Amino acid sequence: MVHISDGILPMPVVAAGWIITILLLAITYRWAGRQDDLTQQIPKLSVMVGAFFVASLIHIDIPPSSAHLILNGLVGIVLGPLSYIGIFIGLTLQALLFQHGGITVIGVNALILGVPALICYLSFLIASGRGLPLTLIGGICGGFAVSASVCLLVATLVISGSEFRAVAGLLAIAHIPIIITEAIITGVIVGYLVRVKPELLPIHLKGEKK
């Protein structure tokens, strides 16, 4: 439900979404390249894009509609700067294969989901360095990512026309169960990664709490 379909947004908003997304793709690509060899990050990128893609197929019934998992918080924590690129790829595949979201609005949808992912990466990096429990930090990031994405979605709909205001409010309410669910899922997965694959997390784990 966080995905916007074609034909809803005015062209200036669609164009702005593409311009900002193209800039962010270039920036995050260079950012990721400075941190590590990009060829070594391809397997991790592929796995997380797959997880993001599959999550969109898991729907939670919220009468009179339904919402699906997003996992952009987890994607942000694991992929770091590459999370924006990963989410862009995932959204493109969803739009092409399942008509999940529009083709012309991939730029806007990438902004809505990708920016919170980047914020989660930076927040996790900073908070974990202060010795806070990593599972808790992951859970907070997971819930925040969905909350921020919903806020960006609502803002996008509101600036696109007053007729979307009522729908925007309903979308915000409908995602409350998703926010809680993703906070739990992300926290659990981060806690698991701390134990079995800590190198996937953007921190130095020695001395950190689990």
User: What pLDDT tens digit does each residue of the chain (210 aa) get?
Assistant: 567 888 888 999 999 999 999 999 999 999 998 887 788 889 999 999 999 988 888 766 554 445 678 999 999 999 999 999 999 999 999 899 887 778 999 999 999 999 999 999 999 999 988 888 999 999 999 999 999 999 998 888 888 876 677 777 777 787 888 999 999 999 999 999 999 999 889 875 444 444
Domain 11-200 has CATH 1.10.1760.20: yes
Look at residues 205, 203, 210 and name the one whose alpha carbon lies nearest to residue 78.
Answer: 203
Bridge partner residues of 61 (DSSP): 66
Q: Residue 97 and residue 152: Cα distance in Å, rounded?
A: 25
* Max CA separation in the chain (angstroms): 53
Taking the whole predicted model, whether its pTM rises above 0.75 is answered as yes
Q: Residue 128 and residue 80: Cα distance in Å, rounded?
A: 14
